[in-house]
Amino acid sequence: MIVKSLQLADFRNYDFLDIHFNENTNILYGNNAQGKTNILEALYICVTTKSHRGGKDKEMIRFGKEEAHIKVTLEKKGIPRKIDIHLKNHKSKGIAIDGIPIKKSSELLGLLNIVFFSPEDLSIIKNGPAERRKFMDVELCQLNNIYFYNFSQYQKVLNQRNNLLKQLTREPYLMDTLEIWDKQLMEHGSIMIEERETFIIKLNDIIKEIHKKLTGGKEQIEILYEKNTTKEQFEENLNKKRDSDLKSLTTQTGPHRDDMAFMVNGIDIRKYGSQGQQRTVALSLKLAEIQLVKSIIKDTPILLLDDVMSELDHDRKNYLLESIKDIQTMITCTGLDEFINGRLNIDKVFQVTEGTVTEKNLT
Ligand SMILES: Nc1ncnc2c1ncn2[C@@H]1O[C@H](COP(=O)(O)OP(=O)(O)OP(=O)(O)O)[C@@H](O)[C@H]1O
Ligand SMILES: [Mg+2]
């Protein structure tokens, strides 16, 4: 798929923007704080309806304005498609696909597929489990409607259960209602566990080959899915932890406590890997993500590289650039030096300055 154009009105530091992308490699360069990441963010919202930075919708509306608009035109399997997002200060956002408003934001999922790569992704191995779960969730929600539904329900049930745990300290007679939440937690949680299992199996198939190549055959990788509980023991574990949950006022059983382990030549590199090893695995993971998305959607996703080029050494950078030749890519950077004489074919260059974007000639 290809993103043809992006229009913004009163989004972040843009009062108005109309940008037309090349179908191959696009570079957005400029000094810090000029609006490069804001452009990638606007594209990302069209995937999940939320910002990759987290935060509230109204934070994305230009200071002092009441609303913001994002319009994206794309081409998917040869067919032109259009996404409109209307952010409002005091109301929930409006979304339209091909000019027709949608009722649930889940209807947008799957229309545009993006792989986002930022310097923080390079720390996914050494960071805490929450980041690794987020990796699974973001991917699965984009690619799998069943997962998205059960994940959303699970979050709600988990919140309700945690609220009830607090309420029970004041109103112990409500104890019976805990079982209702436990049932729903198991219902949605079990499907999440199943889908994560399948996801990790597929990811392993792909990452093994990539990581071997990336390390010149020196390193063998395996990702392990570290479940907090199996489906079969979910009920038993919930019951076992019930007293402790009532004391700690949190739910300690369920896939919201899962993790992934990265084993390199049999060693858990979350704990024992060198920094370089951890970053190489993180890069392999991103490259595997691209392949996985490709194989599932039977199309190419859009790749957004936010400031990562300067973070990678020469070999890894070249490997990345070699692997993304057939994918439309938007790259942000502060200078163009690193691309000159590189192995990258640049097709369009834009300079970003204080919320305005100018296309530059390549000569
Ligand atoms: N709601 C908003 N209204 C107006 N300006 C905003 C809003 N939100 C963020 N900004 C501004 O947008 C500017 C550009 O942000 P952006 O993250 O796109 O910069 P960048 O070009 O990617 O910089 P860097 O190279 O440092 O990553 C920031 O200076 C920020 O203050
Ligand atoms: Mg930035």
Mutate to test the pocket of ligand 1, among 36, 39, 310 (most ligand atoms within 8 A of CB): 36
Å from CA of 256 to ligand 2 middle: 30
Domains and CATH numbers, the chain: 1-113+299-363 (3.40.50.300), 123-298 (1.20.1050.90)
**Which ligand sits nearest to residue 356's alpha carbon?**
1
Return the DSSP state at 249: T
What does pTM read for this prediction? 0.91
The ligand that comes nearest to the alpha carbon of residue 53 is: 1
How many angstroms separate the alpha carbon of residue 332 from the centre of ligand 2? Answer: 7
- State the Cα–Cα distance between residues 195 and 136, nearest whole angstrom: 10
| Ligand 1 pocket, residue 32 CB under 6 Å | yes
Return the residue matching tokens 């209807």.
Answer: 107
Task: Give the span between the Cα atoms of 8 and 14, in whole angstroms.
Answer: 7
CA angle at residue 121 from 119 to 127, to 5 degrees?
A: 115
Q: For residue 57, which phi and psi values (nearest 5 degrees)?
A: -55, -45
pLDDT in tens, the chain (363 residues): 999 999 999 999 999 999 999 999 999 999 999 999 999 999 999 998 999 888 899 999 999 999 999 999 999 999 999 999 999 999 999 999 999 999 998 899 989 999 999 988 989 999 999 999 999 999 999 899 999 999 999 999 999 999 999 999 999 999 999 999 999 999 999 999 999 999 999 999 999 999 999 999 999 999 999 999 999 999 999 999 999 999 999 999 999 999 999 999 999 999 999 998 999 999 999 999 999 999 999 999 999 999 998 888 888 888 888 888 899 999 999 988 776 556 567 889 999 999 999 999 876
Run of H or E including 15: strand 14-20
Q: How far is residue 272 CA from its own chain's centroid?
A: 26
